[in-house]
Amino acid sequence: MENPEDFAEESHPSSELVKVCSLAELPPGTRKVVPLSIGNVLLLNIEGEIFAISSICPHAGGHFEYGCLEGYTIECPLHYWPFDVHSGTLIGMNQVSFLDYQLDTYPVQLHDSQIYLKLARHS
Ligand code: FES
């Protein structure tokens, strides 16, 4: 795909691709916080797979950049709640009272060794 913006326009008119950094800036096993209009987003490179999640915990504001990562699970450093970086769901807490705590995740695309996030377009 030559032009990522064209791709976003064609496939999801309500979304846009935003370039956040190069792949070289996020080698496997590293993480990086990028400030965006929607707030800070945490990028994770897990064995070459890139994930993008809100850097702030939906429970009480813990910063995931300091959280422990185990496989595809990131643990909030404040109260140790574990979230799945694929879906953003809270793991192992099925009570209704926990269902509201959904971590925001963002689709990632790679173009020419650059990392793009697909974000909802604001009009
Ligand atoms: S602030 Fe993240 S689990 Fe409480």
Q: Measured from the CB, is residue 74 less than 6 Å from ligand 1?
A: no
Q: Measured from the CB, is residue 56 less than 6 Å from ligand 1?
A: no
Nearest-CA residue for ligand 1 atom 4 is 79
- Of the chain, the percentage scoring pLDDT greater than 70 comes to 85
CA–centroid distance, residue 75 to ligand 1 (Å): 9
Partnered with residue 118 across adjacent β-strands are 17
Residue 8 — very low, low, confident or very high, per pLDDT cuts 50/70/90?
Answer: very low
Q: Measured from the CB, is residue 64 less than 6 Å from ligand 1?
A: no
Nearest-CA residue for ligand 1 atom 1 is 60
Q: Measured from the CB, is residue 18 less than 6 Å from ligand 1?
A: no
Q: List the single range of 70-84, 85-99, 107-121 with lowest mean pLDDT.
A: 85-99
Q: 20-29: long-range contacts at Cβ-Cβ below 8 A with a sequence spacing of 24 or more?
A: 20/52, 20/115, 20/116, 20/117, 21/114, 21/115, 22/113, 22/114, 22/115, 23/50, 23/110, 23/113, 23/114, 23/115, 24/113, 26/50, 26/115
Q: What is the mean pLDDT of residues 81-91?
A: 94
Q: Which domains can be identified in the chain, with CATH numbers?
A: 4-120 (2.102.10.10)
Q: Measured from the CB, is residue 66 less than 6 Å from ligand 1?
A: no
Which atom of ligand 1 is found nearest the CA of 60? Answer: 1
Report pTM.
Answer: 0.87
**pLDDT tens profile 97-112:** 777 899 999 999 999 9
**pLDDT tens profile 25-74:** 999 999 999 999 999 999 999 999 999 999 999 999 999 999 999 999 99
